Amino acid sequence: MSSHNNRLVAAALALGLLAAPASAFDFGRPATPEEIKLWDIDVTPDGKGLPVGSGTVAQGKQVFADNCTACHGDNGQGGIKDRLAGGQGTLASSAPVKTVGSFWPYATTLYDYIHRAMPYPTPGSLSTDDTYAVTAYILSLNGIVPPDGKVDKDSLPKIKMPNRDGFIPDPEFDPAKLFRKK
């Protein structure tokens, strides 16, 4: 009886350790909701992560001139770094021009990327409204937002980019199928 119990205890211990090897020890510290919010900057195609705010094309033209033209050129073309406008209709040619207008599938990604990585010398330095504004301006350079237009957290996810359907997932890692087989 006693030896039977001991075996049970031993088995339970073994199972417990195997089932949750990590929780047997403490590493790191809990992250608080407040500090997570400081770092949780990503924006998804459905608009999750976009902050409250808005910006117009007109404002964005000025923000762009002050922060972006040096690398991306006037009107987002002819600069030393990535071309941002034009190129629509060139993707199947021998000299494809990949820009926000011709290639990027989601407008939300533009906000996310400008906010996280631009302007190159001082990433994240633009205000929320200025980030919306320069997003609106770059979209207007591509004819996606009208010259008198504006964008905000509700309108940006609703924009259908010209190349939205231009991507074919690799069969091995197709998000629509990957974890749905079982």
Q: How far apart are CA 49 and CA 37, in angstroms?
A: 10
Closest among 118, 119, 98, 108 to 163, alpha carbons compared: 98
The angle that helices 57-67 and 128-141 make with each other, rounded to 10 degrees, is 100
Residue 150, SS3 per DSSP: strand
Question: C-beta of 5: minimal distance to another protein in Å?
Answer: 29
- The tokens for 109 are 């990604």
Nearer to another protein, 58 or 71 (CB): 71
Q: How far apart are CA 58 and CA 50, in angstroms?
A: 21
- What are the helix (H) ranges across 45-104? 57-67, 69-72
Q: Binding marks (x or -) toward another protein, 70..109, rule CB under 8 A?
A: ---------------------xx-x-x-x-x--xxxx-xx
Asked whether position 152 contacts another protein by CB under 8 A, the answer is no
Nearer to another protein, 55 or 157 (CB): 157
Q: How far apart are CA 155 and CA 132, in angstroms?
A: 11
Q: Which residues neighbour 121 within 8 Å (Cβ) at sequence distance 6 or greater?
A: none
**Selected binder of another protein within 12, 13, 65, 120 (CB under 8 A):** 120
Nearer to another protein, 43 or 56 (CB): 43
Nearer to another protein, 42 or 154 (CB): 42
Asked whether position 30 contacts another protein by CB under 8 A, the answer is yes
Q: Among 6-14, 35-43, 132-140, 142-150, which window interacts with another protein (CB under 8 A)?
A: 35-43
**Selected binder of another protein within 2, 40, 52, 182 (CB under 8 A):** 40
Q: How far apart are CA 161 and CA 143, in angstroms?
A: 10
Nearer to another protein, 1 or 20 (CB): 20
Backbone dihedral angles phi then psi of residue 151, each to the nearest 5 degrees = -130, 155
Return residues touching another protein (CB under 8 A): 20-23, 27-31, 35-36, 39-45, 91-92, 94, 96, 98, 100, 103-106, 108-109, 112-113, 116-117, 120, 123, 166-170, 172-175, 178-179
